[in-house]
Copies of this chain bind each other. A is one copy, B any other.
């Protein structure tokens, strides 16, 4: 393993410092695929709700890397169980796991018809890429091993768990980071204590009984962040318009591609076939927003109108749906105003359960608690709080979005 001459550190408000000792980690941070993540907002359209939620996936990726690095250092039993090579691989998996995100990510998956995880894998394995080059320079098997961990397929389950289990470094970083950058308190939980009480037990990550309250707190933090931030109706309004705009562009592109000549960055995503990672690589938030900016003067009035709404934050208003009549009334009024319902009225139902119990099938979905007497049980069996939450009614929210000008 090639070490840097001197440890590099980067100031970070969540973790104090990000520490880098390995050459390959440093090279990946400086790769163009990672630098691109500076131009992808972590929270998509949420900065139209929380005006300071302007942080990028780049910062988050460094944070995930750092949490993995500390877990490997702090959790002695884990540290003893994995080789130096595996430590490197899992830290890199933490760093690179979000590489394939497009702009305004979750909405974008609807548009690109390919999940960001798949793009991530394509990018890491793209032999012409900076990342692939950096990884193979360190070890020929490294790209594949990093991908295995990201895909939750690596042979040592605990490494997969660190990146995408119920209690993984990804979620830990984003809850803390999103709380910090939105200015809300909801995402806070006691990361230090969880780390201190983590152990490796029979090849799995478990948390000692004495850390259970911190885990309960983390479960609640997650639940609160969903409702207060991630599923906020104003952010959903932004995403509805974004998807509508792309849908309209696809239609226009088939009949009159000339109209969209100016916005080349969108072309690969307007075609029938699914776009590859090269197209995605070029489409960051800046390209997207610049594209929208150009579209404001488009000849197609629907495109122009939707683009203006996105650029200038003239979002759709929304109501909680009570009955069908309300929906029909709104559609009627919107239609009467001359709006095309396909693009201008959106019904959207979301639901979120506080905690999903371990089904007994997928280790990925379990959080294990190590009792004082050495037995290991599922979180929901150890915690009266979590036990209660799995029986809680699923909270639902059904809303209708439409133009304000009614």
Contacts and interface: CB of A to CB of B under 8 A. Distances in A.
Given A9-B196, A287-B293, A32 B183 contact: no
Nearest to A51: B59
Q: How many copies of the shown chain assemble into the complex?
A: 4
Contacts of A30: 313-314
- Which of A11, A58, A189, A287 has the most CB atoms of chain B within a 10 A radius of its CB? A11
Contacts of A216: 220, 224
Contact of A184 (B184, B190, B391): B190
A226 to B, nearest CB: 10
Interface stretch (A85-93, A94-102, A380-388): A380-388
Nearest to A293: B287
A393 B384 contact: yes
B183 A11 contact: yes
Interface stretch (A12-20, A252-260, A331-339, A357-365): A12-20
Interface string A24-65: 000000101001001100000001001110111011001000
A320 interface: yes
A17 B227 CA distance: 19
A123 to B, nearest CB: 15
B183 A12 contact: yes
Given A54-B59, A228-B213, A286-B285, A184 B9 contact: no
Interface string A376-406: 0000000011011101111100000000000
A293 B289 contact: no
Given A293-B282, A387-B392, A54 B54 contact: yes
A25 to B, nearest CB: 14
Nearest to A11: B183
A188 interface: yes
A50 to B, nearest CB: 6
Contacts of A392: 384-385, 387-388
A320 B209 CA distance: 13
A196 B6 CA distance: 12
A183 B176 CA distance: 14
A220 B223 contact: no
- Which of A183, A228, A354 has the most CB atoms of chain B within a 10 A radius of its CB? A183
A342 interface: no
A196 to B, nearest CB: 7
Nearest to A50: B11
Contact of A354 (B13, B54, B313, B388): B388
A279 interface: no
A35 B296 CA distance: 15
B55 A52 contact: yes
A109 interface: no
29 contacts: A9-B196, A11-B183, A11-B184, A12-B51, A13-B183, A17-B196, A30-B313, A30-B314, A35-B311, A35-B313, A39-B289, A51-B56, A52-B181, A185-B217, A186-B190, A213-B227, A216-B224, A217-B224, A265-B290, A287-B290, A290-B290, A320-B372, A354-B388, A384-B393, A384-B395, A385-B392, A387-B393, A388-B389, A388-B392
